[in-house]
Amino acid sequence: MSKKEEAHVLEKPKIQCVCGRIIESAADYKLLYLKKEQNEIDILCPNDVCYLRELGFIKFKIDENGNPKASSASFYPPFVTWNVSRLGKEVAMKLLKEHLRDLVTKFVDWDKIREDIKKRTQ
């Protein structure tokens, strides 16, 4: 085995968009809060010229105190299928779930969304 092949085998598996953009972590995605009335945040490919563009979504509900609470998060089938075929089901699903969890817990600005909800409901 050549050194290049050896390095590739030892490299940590990474998620990839269908457009070819490698996504190292949840920090790489772009989040778009456009569907405000539907309480939905779009998960976008970090590649601005990606032909798929929208890779998934995060839906949330608003509790009795006006606070947003994530209710579901998912990637769309073409993105999931692409990564399962590249990395195998077990590895791809583990990484994709990690990315979704990190997006919801670390990268969505829930305070900003809460403020927007308050402005719209006044």
Q: For every one of its 122 residues, what pLDDT tens digit does the chain have, with 9 covering 90 and above?
A: 455 555 555 689 999 999 999 999 999 999 999 999 899 999 999 999 999 999 999 999 999 988 999 999 999 999 999 999 999 999 999 999 999 999 999 999 999 999 998 888 87
Q: Are 4 and 11 in contact (CB under 8 A)?
A: no
In the structure encoding, which two tokens stand for residue 110, read together?
A: 């829930």
User: What pTM was estimated for this model as a whole?
Assistant: 0.88
DSSP H helical segments within the chain, as ranges?
A: 3-10, 77-87, 89-102, 110-121
From CA 118, how far away is CA 115, in angstroms rounded? 5
Q: Hey, is 47 helix, strand or coil?
A: coil
- The tokens for 102 are 């990190």
Structure tokens at 31: 């989040």
Q: List the one residue out of 27, 36, 50, 45 whose CA is nearest residue 108.
A: 27
